[in-house]
Each structure stands twice: as structure tokens, then as C-alpha cells.
Amino acid sequence: MHQAEPLIFEKSSPGRRCFILPACDVPEKPVTSFLPQKMLRKQEAQLPEVSEIDVVRHFTRLSQMNFCVDTNFYPLGSCTMKYNPRINEDAARMEGFTKLHPYQPVEQCQGMLKLLYDLEQILKDISGMSAFTLQPAAGAHGELTGMLIIRAYLEKKGEHRHKIIIPDSAHGTNPASAALCGYEVESIQSNASGLVDIEKLKAAFTHDTAALMITNPNTLGLFEKDILEICKIAHDAGGLVYCDGANMNALLGIARLGDMGVDILHLNLHKTFSTPHGGGGPGAGPIGVTEALKPFLPVPRIEMVDTLTAEDTAENIYILNYAHPDSIGKVRAFYGHIGMMIRAYTYLLSLGKEGVCKVSEYAVLNANYLLHKLKNHYDIPYGKTCMHEFVISAKKQKQKGASALDIAKKLLDYGFHAPTIYFPLIVEEALMIEPTETESRETLDAFAAAMIRIAEDIEQQPELVRNTPQTTPIGRPDEVKAAREPKLRWE
């Protein structure tokens, strides 16, 4: 059992300090002499008064209460919680990168720009798209950028289409991004196999529709096998296809959405390309576009130009080009989350082309292995085989007295993070499981054993599963109260 950790304010003792500065040996200046009045505090800041070791111990203890992929299996569907190789961290911490300033002249940043340029080329290669921007800071931000590009493109053609079609299996960020960009969102119901319903799509995709926003593989972990026809329907009606490629872990090196007719695609470096995520930390959601949409990408574009050196030999130099008049402009300060790009680039180079294909083969194999281990114990509403993830339903278990939420909580007692629950919305009591390629067979077996044990417990004694977790620092908080009355301030 963990000991409760008090707030750092509760450890405060008046006058205690981390570090005591030597007496000032130059004349002291009052803060009012160099800061404008409006910037001054009216009351002194209420900071905890603690020693340095108090701070270190407090935060180290808190960090150990957290569940993380570095300690345990984390099969959070749609989130691709794969191992983040440490070599990525070493590369991102190289001084040549960390000491660069974004306002430094480009002549001094050639290495950095080459890395960004090359990363764009690799992402093009993997996806089949014609051009990439690395600026968006997350998947949802990539979606918004994509929507802005669609709008700019259509408006340039003189078309004022106002609708975006989104299947009901879509990630919640999809309709939010479309709506934020001023589009009206029309949801279409998936068919009995959990795929886009072609007839419904045909009926819905009219001349006021700007685009279809589709996820492939979709959130049920199924490949949209009619993707060619789907793209044709959108294009025949003069619209575009936006693909949410946050879940590319099943397709790397195997199939390219760009070859299937998709016009815009976002990728999540912090999922598929092993850069860390969670806790709202920095991510990266690059988007790739077709040739026709390239002029609308955010500026600056990282471009390579050939020059001749003094010795008359050809040399490539990299520039930041702002001269793209149709660009939607900047979507992020400077050039995006560079640290994430260095990590993703390192990951891709350390795998190489062959390694990248293996990622997807193993991700799909691991997911199917688990699916088959669990299929006799839980309902699998869609698909007998899956791509990189699958969705089970705890409908049967709910009737016996323990819900998907209870199962998720109980898993913590077995040392596993919960799968994604209650998503996608089209599956009742959904548990969405994504093991990723970086887990061993032993880990998958242990997880399956825990899931099966839980199913058996629910048959006999559902209360064993309901009153959980018992072994974590915090048991089951009142989630409604936490959401409605968050206490975010220490008083």
C-alpha cells in the first residue's frame, strides 16, 4: 500500500528555504523601480516554504504513484502507448539541438533544418502524401489545420461548402475540429460490420459538403476496405477526404493512405512514432496533403535549394520559406515541437525501412493474439480479426453486476493500465484494447489471464470487481464531483 502524500503546502514551515543566497554586495533596487505598477502583486505569492530535499522527495513520491508505460503494460486503445526508446531521448538532448534558438539565422541551423526536411520526406514516403507540415502540436491540432486548409482550398475555387461528414465511430476530436473551423457536422451511422455505410455516405455527400472525415483503420480497429470507393464518392461530388491517421500503427510500411485517394492525413508522432505522450505533454500532429493542397500548408515551409559552393561543387541548403501567398499562415509558434520531431526521426532511422514494416506486423499480430485469447470470455461485437486494436463489450458482465468501468479499475489491482473505455460510442460497455508491438508474449498472456480471471469473478462474485482498485494510492474518486467541482487552488 502507498502512503498518502500530503500537499507540498502542508509540509511548509515558515522561514524554511531551499537555498540561502549570500548577502547582496551591490546596492539593492526596489522592484517598483523597474517593474510597472500593474505587474506587481497585491499580496505576496503564497509559496510553500520547504527545503530542497522536501521538494525532491515530494515530487519523486508523486511520480512513483503515477501509472506509466515505463513500469507497466498500458493497453489504452487508440492511444498507442508503445515503449519510448531511450535513444530518442539521447538524440533530443544533444547540445547542437537544445542550444539552438528559434530566431537564430538559418545559416547556423542547417543541421536542424535538414533533420526536419528529411523527416517530412520519410513521412511522405510512409504515407504516400505529396507534402507535409510538422507544425501542428497534436492530432487534434492537425485536424484543425487540415480543416483550415480544406476551407482555404475550396474558397479559392469559389466554393462555399459548409458541411463535413463524419462517421459515428469517429474520435471525438473530429467533430470538434470541424465545428471549430465553422463547419456544420453531419454524422453518418456505421453499418452492421462497423464500417462506413456506402449508401448512407452517397446520400449524405451533397454539393454543400466540403469533406468526409474518416479514420482508417477506424476506431473499432477495422480497416475501411471500401476506402477507394469512399474517396471516389467524395471526389465525384467535388469534395475532399480528410483521414485521421492517428492510428497508423497497423499500416506502417504496408499500405499508404495517400495511394488510396485521401487528400489530407494527420499522423500522431506521439503515438505511432514513439515520442512520449500523456499528461497533456507536448505532442506533434504533422499533416500530409496532396499536390493540389500543398500551396495552402502553413508557413514557413522548410525547403531545400541547390547552390554552388566557392569550389563550384553543388551543395544543398535549407531555408524557411514564407513566400507562399495561399498559405493559411502559421498554426504554431516557430516550427512546432521540435523535440518530438528529433525523437520521431531517431526512431525511424534506428528502425530503418524493414524495421518500420515489422512494427505494424507485430502490432497487428499482438492485437489479434489478445483478441483470440479473450473472445470466449467477452462479447466482440465487430470483427473476427482486427488491425492494431480491437473493441470488446462488457455488456454481458454489466448484466451480472460489474461494468466496463469496474473491469478497468480492477485491472489496476493486477498491475495493468485500463484499456480505453466507453469509446467508441457505438459499442455498449466498450473496452478498447491496443497492446502495441513493443509488448512480449509473456505480458500479453498475463494481461489475458487477468481479464479472464475478472470475467470469472464477475460470474461468481461481481462485488470483488466492483469495489476496486484496492492497491493504488487513490481508490475510486467521485468522478462527477471531481468534474463538477474541481478544486484547483490551494487556500
Ligand X SMILES: *Cc1c(COP(=O)(O)O)cnc(C)c1O
Residues that bind ligand X (CB under 6 A): 78, 138-140, 171, 173, 215, 219, 244, 246-247, 268, 283, 285
Work out how close the CB of 246 gets to ligand X at its nearest, in angstroms, rounded to a whole number.
3
Residue nearest to ligand X (CB): 139
Extract the C-alpha cell encoding 258.
495517400
Distance CA 418, CA 81 (A): 12
Residue-by-residue DSSP string for 274-313: -----TT------EEE-GGGGGGSPSSEEEEEEEE-TTS-
Sheet holding 209-215, edge to edge: 131-133, 287-289, 264-267, 240-245, 209-215, 163-167, 184-188
* Closer by beta carbon to ligand X, 246 or else 341: 246
**Distance of closest approach, residue 214 Cβ to ligand X, in angstroms:** 10
Shorter beta-carbon distance to ligand X: residue 331 or 448: 331
Q: At closest approach, how far in Å is the CB of 288 from ligand X?
A: 15
Min CB(150)–ligand X separation in Å: 17
Distance of closest approach, residue 267 Cβ to ligand X, in angstroms: 10
How far CA 139 is from CA of 89, 107, 151, 205, 269, in Å, comes to 21, 31, 18, 25, 9
Indicate the residue among 138 and 348 with the shorter CB distance to ligand X. 138
Q: Among residues 170 and 394, whose Cβ is nearest to ligand X? A: 170
Beta carbon nearer to ligand X, 141 or 466: 141
∠ CA 294-347-444 to the nearest 5 degrees? 115
Q: How far apart are CA 270 and CA 184, in angstroms?
A: 29
Q: What is the dihedral of CA 175, 180, 182, 188, to 10 degrees?
A: 0
DSSP states along 160-191? ---EEEEETTS-THHHHHHHHTT-EEEEE---
We find the least distance from the C-beta atom of residue 222 to ligand X, in angstroms, to be 13
Whichever of 246 and 455 has its CB closer to ligand X, that residue is: 246
Using the minimum distance from each CB to ligand X, give the nearer residue, 74 or 117: 74
Q: Where are the alpha helices (DSSP H) in 99-238?
A: 110-127, 139-156, 173-180, 198-204, 227-236
The H or E element that residue 134 is part of is none
Nearer to ligand X, 171 or 409 (CB): 171
Closer residue to ligand X, CB minimum distance, 78 or 327 = 78
C-alpha dihedral sign at 211, 217, 219, 222 = positive
Give the number of other CB atoms < 10 A from CB of residue 459. Answer: 13
Q: Which is nearer to ligand X, 213 or 408 (CB)?
A: 213
What 3-state DSSP class applies to 244? strand
**C-beta of 140 vs 444, nearer to ligand X:** 140
Q: Is 42 exposed, middle or buried (0-12, 13-18, 19+ CB in 10 A)?
A: exposed
Bridge partners of 43, per DSSP, are none
- Distance between CA 133 and CA 187 in Å, rounded? 28
Q: Shortest approach of ligand X to residue 160 CB, angstroms?
A: 27
Nearest approach in angstroms of CB 159 to ligand X is 27
Give the nearer residue to ligand X in terms of CB position, either 170 or 448.
Answer: 170
Supply the minimum distance, in Å, between the C-beta of residue 171 and ligand X.
Answer: 3
Phi-psi map region of 440: left, alpha, beta (phi>0 left; psi -120 to 50 alpha): beta
Q: Cell triple for residue 108?
A: 547556423
Determine contact, residues 410/468, Cβ cutoff 8 Å. yes
- Min dist CB 248 to ligand X, Å, is 10
Least spacing, CB of residue 425 vs ligand X, in Å: 13
Output the smallest distance, CB 194 to ligand X, in A: 15
Location of C-alpha cell 464531483? 481
Query: Cβ distance 284 to 297 under 8 Å?
Result: no
